[in-house]
């Protein structure tokens, strides 16, 4: 009799523990993952991973912050690392949207297609690459030819371009930066695809736009370049002339980018792995809206014109 009571008690304890485990697993399953049951019938959360260009990262963060107040169920993760990093993540299928301050290269496009993707390109803003120097430097303007010669290593002293007898310290973004690639192709190579010239060997490569601003601010001999949205009053922008009209010098601004009078300007891009659908499509459509394009303007970039958004 005593033995049967013990067995009965053990069975009751086993059933009780089993019920506790089932309740625990059910509760954990309800909390985990964006596809969990929603007892309140509210909209389930959607996660968007957005990575790439450091030029765009502050703009993308501002967009994400604003959009999440409009659609709290959409969580947007924004990271930088450079245009090359974002496009590599796109090819590797590890990102929903890649930001790039240059167009996707043919080899990147080929790799994406080989991976079964169909990358879609969206122009989301425009930008100028401003050439910047220390405010103590008396130089106010350079021709495109002079600027190219500086970064090629052919002009090495400020006195050669109307400045003081000081060595020129050249600063550039790192090679995974879309800004680096655009400056190389547009300025150093004059947009000549057959020209294989690269940056002078003594050019200092810095990992961020903020790093270039800081170095130019502290070094009276330095010259650098940065997206217009990153330029502060602590540095001086240099007016640049084109090859066709070397006597006309233009300062970068929203107006001179919009009318194409400032030569070193470009589009800024977002790429998706395929034709976007669902929340990703809705987010990109919002980026093209007047509200989102006002944020572009507020951060010092140039909004896309209306006909480009249609």
pLDDT at 3 over 90: no
Query: Tokens 């459509």 belong to which residue?
Result: 285
**pLDDT tens digits, one per residue of 216-234:** 999 999 999 999 999 999 9
Is pLDDT larger for residue 18 or for residue 231?
Answer: 231
Q: pLDDT value at position 54?
A: 94
Q: What is the mean pLDDT of the chain?
A: 88
State the pLDDT confidence band at 84, using cuts at 50, 70 and 90.
very high
Is the predicted pLDDT of residue 112 greater than 70, yes or no?
yes
How much is the pTM?
A: 0.81
Q: Which residue has the higher pLDDT, 1 or 265?
A: 265
pLDDT at 79 over 50: yes
Locate all alpha helices (DSSP H) within the chain, ordered by sequence.
Answer: 2-31, 54-70, 83-91, 106-114, 144-152, 178-183, 209-218, 254-258, 278-287, 290-298, 306-309
245 φ/ψ angles, rounded to the nearest 5 degrees: -130, 75
pLDDT tier, 43 (very low <50, low <70, confident <90, very high otherwise):
low
What is the model's pLDDT at position 12? 53
Mean pLDDT of 46-63: 97
**Domains with residue ranges and CATH for the chain:** 46-126+268-309 (3.40.190.10), 127-265 (3.40.190.10)
Per-residue pLDDT reduced to its tens digit, 137-181: 999 999 999 999 999 999 999 999 999 999 999 999 999 999 999
Q: How confident is the model at residue 244 (pLDDT cuts 50, 70, 90)?
A: confident
Q: Give the burial class of 168: count Cβ atoms within 10 A of its Cβ; 0-12 exposed, 13-18 middle, 19 or more buried.
A: buried
């Amino acid at each position: 009799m005593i033995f049967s009571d013990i067995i009965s008690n053990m069975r009751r304890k086993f059933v009780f523990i089993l019920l506790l485990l089932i309740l625990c697993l059910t509760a954990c399953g309800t909390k985990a993952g964006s596809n969990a049951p929603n007892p309140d019938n509210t909209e389930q959360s959607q996660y968007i991973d957005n990575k790439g260009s450091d030029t765009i990262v502050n703009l993308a963060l501002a967009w994400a912050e604003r959009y999440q107040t409009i659609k709290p169920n959409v969580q947007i993760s924004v990271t930088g690392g450079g245009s090359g990093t974002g496009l590599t993540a796109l090819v590797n299928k590890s990102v929903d949207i890649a930001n790039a301050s240059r167009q996707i290269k043919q080899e990147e496009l080929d790799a994406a297609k080989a991976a079964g993707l169909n990358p879609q390109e969206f122009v989301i803003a425009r930008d100028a690459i401003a050439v910047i120097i220390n405010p103590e430097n008396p130089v106010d303007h350079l021709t495109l030819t002079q600027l190219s010669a500086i970064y090629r290593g052919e002009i090495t002293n400020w006195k050669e371009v109307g400045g003081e007898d000081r060595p020129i310290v050249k600063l550039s973004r790192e090679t995974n930066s879309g800004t680096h690639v655009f400056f190389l192709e547009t300025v150093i190579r004059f947009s000549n695809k057959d020209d294989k010239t690269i940056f002078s060997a003594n050019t200092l490569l810095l990992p961020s736009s903020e790093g270039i601003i800081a170095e130019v601010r502290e070094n009276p001999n330095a010259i650098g370049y940065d997206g217009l949205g990153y330029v502060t009053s602590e540095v001086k922008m240099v007016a640049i002339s084109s090859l066709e009209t070397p006597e006309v010098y233009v300062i970068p601004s929203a107006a001179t980018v919009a009318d194409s009078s400032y030569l070193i300007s470009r589009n800024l891009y977002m790429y998706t792995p395929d034709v976007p659908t669902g929340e990703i499509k809705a987010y990109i459509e919002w980026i093209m809206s007047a509200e989102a394009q006002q944020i572009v303007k507020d951060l010092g970039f140039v909004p896309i014109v209306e006909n480009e958004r249609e």
